[in-house]
A and B are shown apart, each in its own frame.
Chain A
Amino acid sequence: MEIKLRLAHLYPRLMNIYGDRGNIICLERRCQQRGIAFEVEDLELGDEFKPEEYDLVFIGGAQDREQRRVAQDLVACKGEALREAVESGVALLAVCGGYQLLGRFYRTAQGEDLPGVGVFDLWTAHPGPQARRFIGNVVVEWQGRTLVGFENHGGRTHLGEGVAPLGRVVVGFGNNGEDGGEGAVHRNAYGTYLHGALLPKNPCFADHLIETALRCRYQEVALKGLDDRVEEAAHAEAVRLATRKPPP
């Protein structure tokens, strides 16, 4: 039986600024190396999202202006179907701006509330144009391992009752710089602030996502191990650099 992973890439032309396409490149290669067919569909503004057609959804980060357009489209066009997909167990990874937009609302630096779609029970507020931006390397503890990446966000995210943080911040700011949480998990949906890109340098999380996505349609999924020496070296080195003193 051919195993296939069907990915919906939301707004690749708008939400694409921080190298997050590295996540797609990584997923594709890790599937191909295991003989898993990999199919990506790009969904832009106005394109309908059909929950039953995908195993995994990805949305990356963007700039404020692009994010505004996407926020409108999510609410008007794709939001309900996305919620339905996540509630039925479809896997999802949302990074930075995409993560913020999948919460209940985003309060801009000017105090305006952009409605979110509520995939995650969380809200994000930008404390104003003078507030410090959270920028830097991040190390997160996740299920007894580390995740490493780079964050760059003005908004502070606060989790509601229905979600747990993805991990605990070891280095960096995470969701809000206060409660030590980074990212969010709800069912098989993951939100995070980590660029890097996230998945290539965190192959265990990449594989976890692939497995989770495939489990919805295939009962038995055992991913074969890959030669991850370069991945592990890049991960270890990034963790080491994140914990060093900042360079001049």
Chain B
Amino acid sequence: MARRLGQGSVLVTGTNGKTTTARLLRNIVQAAGLRPVANRAGSNLMRGIAAALVESAQLTGEFPGRDHRLGVFEVDEATLPEAVAALRPKAVIFTNLFRDQLDRYGEVEHVASLWREAVRTLTETATVVLNADDPAIASLAAVARGRALFYGFGDVSWSVARLEHDADARWCSSCGCELSYAAVFYGHLGHWRCPGCGEASPAATVVGLGLESGSEGLRLIAALPGGEVAVRLPLLGLYNAYNALAAMAAAVALGAEQEAIEKGLGSFTAAFGRQERLLVNGRQVQVILAKNPAGLNQVLRTIIADGMQKDLVLLLNDNIADGRDVSWIWDVDFELLAGVPRSLIVSGNRAWDMALRLKYAGVGSSFQVEPNTALALRQALRGTSQGDTLYVIPTYTAMLQVRELLARWGGHGVFWQEG
């Protein structure tokens, strides 16, 4: 069925940022006059893609406006080989590669090797859109038969002093030497170079030149082949600037006009659980999904950036879709939260694991433990003053629970739906 999409398909994969990048790209594609067919956030296995195709098609299996239909699908890391074989995409966008749910995906190197196999099977006309700053992603260019287009971040005022403990790709994929960094942005993302074989972050076609992140969102200036663009996005944090760069690079790969890129990004609203703000009983609620160390470390850095105290709920579940192993919370820098919470409730079926982590992080003992998600949320909303923002940071299945609860209480019922 996917072959009946007049414009073909593009796939978005990676550890973090798939959903947001795919949504950003859809907006651009729409602004360019195409009609995207997309899977719902998180439904990124083959059946989620198939469902999206079926929903968009007529009974005949044809797509209305077929000449203008482009598939924009986010794809689970491990599903990529199958998705490439089935959809024969004209572009594949890679965001980043970090440790994530090791009990489910296996080792980081295993995911990398699956991706290499998938990229090898792409045709010569397919483009891979790669993060130049992630050595594990950039090295995929070596196995691509078609064009590789890179994006990266150039504003070194955002760099941190050195690689932190959650960096995963520290070693050169060609010769095995330890990489050296002129700038580190987060995790192992930065301007890297191998002192052994000289391999280095490739020159990027789409470059982030300047970034401001405030409570209202991001202001990102990027250099594109058609000139500079400046966009405002209702998203927070450096990691979301990377998602925006990935979407812009994908749009460039698809031949989108500069104007469509600016217009598409300008009309963006976040997906539920990806930083969408909701209003519940006069309180702003901001739900930010975080499911692995790199993602949660970025979320924490973003939350503490303005130096203000915050009302927080941390939700940790260990269902299969979350990863059964909760050891990863010990790789998260909760130490950053010391002094930040005005109120803090930990919840989820692994609430006590989270409580223990916070205790050892020196966050203080004033937080509450309430394993029941509904009770925890209710209590947190009560503890948040009118007009203030409650930050809710759930793992994946906890996010689904939160979505349902807030929908019920907010009474709107539609605010998370995909466009």
Chain A residues with CB under 8 Å of chain B are 12-13, 16-22, 25-26, 29, 63-65, 69, 135-137, 150, 152, 195-197, 200-201, 230-231, 233-234, 237-238, 241, 247-248
Quote the shortest CB–CB distance from B332 to chain A (angstroms).
9
A-contact bits for B316-350, CB 8 A (1 contact / 0 none): 00111000111111110000000000000000011
CB <8 Å contact, B360 and A25: yes
Asked if A234 meets B352 with Cβ closer than 8 Å, knowing A12-B165, A21-B165, the reply is: yes
CB of B102 within 8 Å of the partner chain:
yes
CB <8 Å contact, A18 and B320: no
Asked if A197 meets B330 with Cβ closer than 8 Å, knowing A21-B165, A230-B355, the reply is: yes
Please, how many angstroms separate the alpha-carbon atoms of A16 and B166 in the complex? 8
CB of B388 within 8 Å of the partner chain:
no
Please, how many angstroms separate the alpha-carbon atoms of A200 and B352 in the complex? 11
Please, how many angstroms separate the alpha-carbon atoms of A197 and B329 in the complex? 9
- Interface residue stretch chosen among B79-87, B103-111, B242-250: B103-111
Contacts of B318 in A (CB 8 A): 241, 247
CB <8 Å contact, B319 and A137: no
Please, how many angstroms separate the alpha-carbon atoms of A18 and B325 in the complex? 9
CB of B262 within 8 Å of the partner chain:
no
Quote the shortest CB–CB distance from A15 to chain B (angstroms).
12
B107 contacts which of A64, A137, A230, A238 (Cβ < 8 Å)?
A64
CB <8 Å contact, A19 and B356: no
Known: A12-B165, A201-B356. 8 other contacts (CB 8 A): A18-B327, A20-B330, A21-B330, A22-B330, A22-B360, A25-B330, A230-B352, A230-B359
Asked if A136 meets B324 with Cβ closer than 8 Å, knowing A16-B165, A64-B109, A152-B103, the reply is: yes
Please, how many angstroms separate the alpha-carbon atoms of A248 and B349 in the complex? 14
Of the A-B pairs whose beta carbons lie under 8 Å apart in the complex, a sample of 5, sorted by A's number, is A17-B168, A64-B109, A136-B103, A152-B103, A230-B359
Please, how many angstroms separate the alpha-carbon atoms of A152 and B352 in the complex? 21
Please, how many angstroms separate the alpha-carbon atoms of A16 and B163 in the complex? 14
Quote the shortest CB–CB distance from A46 to chain B (angstroms).
11
CB of B155 within 8 Å of the partner chain:
no
Please, how many angstroms separate the alpha-carbon atoms of A241 and B360 in the complex? 22
CB <8 Å contact, B324 and A65: no
Contacts of A152 in B (CB 8 A): 102-103, 325
CB <8 Å contact, A238 and B352: yes
Please, how many angstroms separate the alpha-carbon atoms of A12 and B163 in the complex? 13
Quote the shortest CB–CB distance from B45 to chain A (angstroms).
16
Contacts of A200 in B (CB 8 A): 330, 356-357, 360
CB of B99 within 8 Å of the partner chain:
yes
CB of B170 within 8 Å of the partner chain:
yes
CB of B62 within 8 Å of the partner chain:
no
CB <8 Å contact, A13 and B170: yes
Quote the shortest CB–CB distance from A43 to chain B (angstroms).
15
CB <8 Å contact, A19 and B353: no
Quote the shortest CB–CB distance from A192 to chain B (angstroms).
13
Please, how many angstroms separate the alpha-carbon atoms of A152 and B99 in the complex? 14
B356 contacts which of A18, A137, A234 (Cβ < 8 Å)?
A234
Q: Which of B122-179 contact A (CB under 8 A)?
A: 165, 168, 170-171, 176
Please, how many angstroms separate the alpha-carbon atoms of A29 and B361 in the complex? 9
CB <8 Å contact, B329 and A137: no
Asked if A195 meets B320 with Cβ closer than 8 Å, knowing A21-B165, A237-B352, A238-B352, the reply is: no
The residue of chain A having its C-beta at the shortest distance from the C-beta of B354 within the complex is: A234
Please, how many angstroms separate the alpha-carbon atoms of A16 and B319 in the complex? 23
CB <8 Å contact, B355 and A234: yes
CB <8 Å contact, B109 and A196: no
Contacts of B319 in A (CB 8 A): 247-248
Please, how many angstroms separate the alpha-carbon atoms of A115 and B301 in the complex? 42
The residue of chain B having its C-beta at the shortest distance from the C-beta of A65 within the complex is: B109
Contacts of B170 in A (CB 8 A): 13
CB <8 Å contact, B102 and A18: yes
Quote the shortest CB–CB distance from B251 to chain A (angstroms).
35
CB <8 Å contact, B327 and A196: yes
Contacts of B171 in A (CB 8 A): 65
The residue of chain B having its C-beta at the shortest distance from the C-beta of A195 within the complex is: B327
Contacts of A25 in B (CB 8 A): 330, 360-361
Asked if A234 meets B353 with Cβ closer than 8 Å, knowing A13-B170, A65-B109, A150-B325, the reply is: yes
Quote the shortest CB–CB distance from B317 to chain A (angstroms).
9
Please, how many angstroms separate the alpha-carbon atoms of A241 and B329 in the complex? 17
Contacts of A247 in B (CB 8 A): 318-320
Q: Which 8 A-B pairs have the closest CB atoms?
A: A22-B330, A19-B327, A19-B330, A234-B352, A63-B107, A234-B356, A195-B327, A237-B352
The residue of chain A having its C-beta at the shortest distance from the C-beta of B335 within the complex is: A25
Contacts of A29 in B (CB 8 A): 360
Contacts of B324 in A (CB 8 A): 135-137, 150
Quote the shortest CB–CB distance from A147 to chain B (angstroms).
14
The residue of chain B having its C-beta at the shortest distance from the C-beta of A66 within the complex is: B171
CB <8 Å contact, A21 and B331: yes
